[in-house]
Amino acid sequence: MYKKVSKNEAVHYIWGDGCDSWVFVDKDTLSVKLESMPPNTRENAHHHAKASQFFYLIKGEALFHINGNESVTVLAQEGLLIPPQTIHFIENKSDEAIDFLVISQPTTNNDRF
């Protein structure tokens, strides 16, 4: 019933511009991923109809663009909650990779627009 998770054993995929994702929890009600973005990369603006997402920066500095008119800088050891229906994207404008956890409830599978 209880199972440890490890980055080395997690399902891994590449998204966007060479960004990495390791899936630690993948349930209908909850998703937990460790993600890494190379320097000077960003994702496309999108929203989730149902899912809230919490981003927690482990390493580096991320810039979140929200609803086309707001930007929030998040540093290592800080987090940001993105409610459902919020248009957003994350950007790494630095010369260093960033690492962060993204926790989604419920999962964002089939919920990205």
Domain count, the chain: 1
Give this prediction's pTM. 0.95
Residue at 69 is within a domain:
yes
CB atoms within 10 A of CB 13: 10
For residue 61, give the CATH number of its domain.
2.60.120.10
Residue 55 near residue 80 (C-beta atoms within 8 A): yes
Q: Which is nearest to 82 in space by CA: 59, 41, 111?
A: 111
Give the span between the Cα atoms of 22 and 20, in whole angstroms: 7
Task: Give the pLDDT score at 1.
Answer: 77
Range of the domain at 72: 11-34+54-105
What is the token pair recorded at 88?
């957003």
Residue at 47 is within a domain:
no
Residue at 5 is within a domain:
no
How does pLDDT run across 49-80, given as a tens digit for each residue?
999 999 999 999 999 999 999 999 999 999 99
Q: What is the pLDDT along the chain (113 residues), one digit of tens a residue?
A: 798 999 999 999 999 999 999 999 999 999 999 999 999 999 999 999 999 999 999 999 999 999 999 999 999 999 999 999 999 999 999 999 999 999 999 999 999 99
